[in-house]
Amino acid sequence: MDYVDIAPLLVAPDTRLRTVIEVIDRSGLQIALVAGDGRRLLGTITDGDVRRGLLRGITLEEPARAVMNSRPLTVGPDMQGTAIDALMQRTSLRRIPVVREDGTLASLAVPSGDIAQDALPHHVVIMAGGLGSRLGELTRTTPKPLLRVGERPILETILDGFVQQGFTSFTLTVNYLADMIIEHFGDGGRWGVSIDYVRETEPLGTAGALSRLTRRPDRPLVVMNGDLLTKVDYRKLLDFHTTTGQRATMTVREHEMPVPYGVVDVRANRIEELVEKPVKRYFINAGIYVLDASCLDFIPTNGRFDMTDLFGRLLEQGFPLGAFPIHEYWQDIGQLVDYRRANSDYVEHWGFASEQDNVSDPS
């Protein structure tokens, strides 16, 4: 059992959630400790607490107290490490605040060696077979996953993000200009990982190619569209999926739609409310998923089948499905305007100069 310094983990109850997220990510311990005067513990906040708050409609500008667990499990400074370890085993908690009798924080108990990121055994499938026709001339001779954003192809940035987080086993589904993708990535040896391929002889949709995996995974697998750039933490996504007991989890992102008119709420010929130019907020599908292996049984072996079709079938069967809200950087590259935006964002999020900041619309 290790005990870590709590100073980098402390936030005040009125700290904005946007700042709390930075504390959680920067420490690597995946927890923030909400403290009052004299470091008196008021609550704890994990990444899961933040995302559950987002699903309830809480924004990142609201204070820490809006999502904190105000009654966390704690231990005293005199409890033996073996007893704390046993408590963690019983509760499945891996971060327990150590609190003195007067309620002030002493440290945080963490299992020995728990901070290091070991290689993950979860398989990753990246859908890279789309035509990219909405990008016009850019994809006439180059598959969209190989278009350069910043200093390297889109798919290379995606792959590197997974590799940095400890993933080592990948399948790329390919169709349009497939040989170019296979030649570029090979067997994955340049990245120290294993890559195999599913060749689509016809478009199979965003889920259909999963029926043709060479081996059935024995644990949840991550599936991602090959035209996304994001800084999402896939480990957090997998942890959310596992701890919430979902059969499948879909990442979602908040999308705002401003109404350019005054909206009138009319009931029985009477005006009940007037709202000038309201903004409607929705959660949209963000194109990254975690699926239990049993989900593959619901995918047909032939024909087009999209991920929305799969989630629809799972809903019909009554299986628990989760929504994981993304607050990190996320950019879909579906149209030219998206491609230009991704290039302009690249330096900020990946630290390399863009070579294509001046991409023009051929139309």
Sign of CA dihedral 157, 158, 163, 169: negative
d(CA 346, CA 157): 10
Reply yes or no on domain 120-350 having CATH 2.30.30.100.
Answer: no
134 and 334 Cβ atoms separated by less than 8 Å: yes
pLDDT at res. 115: 54
**DSSP per-residue codes, 33-59:** EEE-GGGBEEEEEEHHHHHHHHHTT--
Reported as type and span, the H/E element at residue 159 is helix 154-164
d(CA 139, CA 203): 17
pLDDT at res. 356: 42
Q: Within the chain, which residues score under 70 in pLDDT?
A: 113-118, 351-363
Burial label, 274 (beta-carbon count in 10 A; 0-12, 13-18, 19+): exposed
CATH of 2-110, one of 3.10.560.10, 3.65.10.10, 3.40.140.10, 3.10.580.10: 3.10.580.10
pLDDT at res. 363: 38
d(CA 209, CA 125): 10
pLDDT at res. 243: 87
Domain boundaries in the chain?
2-110, 120-350
Sign of CA dihedral 136, 139, 144, 150: negative
Q: Which residue in 161, 132, 159 sits closest to 147, CA to CA?
A: 132
Q: Do domains 2-110 and 120-350 have the same CATH topology?
A: no
Q: Which residue in 120, 285, 309, 144 sits closest to 211, CA to CA?
A: 309
pLDDT per residue over 102-120, tens digit each?
A: 999 999 999 876 655 567 8
pLDDT at res. 203: 87
